[in-house]
Amino acid sequence: MTWSIDPPIQVGGYACAAVVEVDFSVRPFAGMLAGHGDKRPLLLLLLRDGVVRGFDLNGQVFQRDEIENLFPDAIVRMKNLLSDTI
């Protein structure tokens, strides 16, 4: 599985970003190349006052350690994307 972080959105003191699964394939087709891409949300990251929590699409809550275990460096990537927008 290949995953990525979508650009975070900031509202007030909150920042939210989605961890998404990304799939892309290219195949030969009729003498050309045909590509197909897909992106699915896996986890929403919510940052407030330096505390990060995750929520999956079923509403299950994930703490920082669980997030880092499933998606290493996801929190750092989110914070880096936030600092790029300031």
- pLDDT of the residue at 85: 64
- pLDDT of the residue at 86: 53
- pLDDT of the residue at 81: 92
- pLDDT of the residue at 83: 87
- What's the predicted TM-score (pTM) here? 0.81
Q: What angle do CA 54, 73, 63 make, to 5 degrees?
A: 25
> What is the Rg, in whole angstroms, of the alpha carbon atoms belonging to the chain?
16
Q: For residue 46, what are the domain limits?
A: 2-84
Distance CA 20, CA 70 (A): 12
Q: Give the count of domains, the chain.
A: 1
DSSP string for residues in 21-53: EEEEEEEEETTEEEEEEEEEEEEEEEEETTEEE
pLDDT, block means (10 residues), the chain with 86 residues: 92 95 92 93 95 95 96 94 77
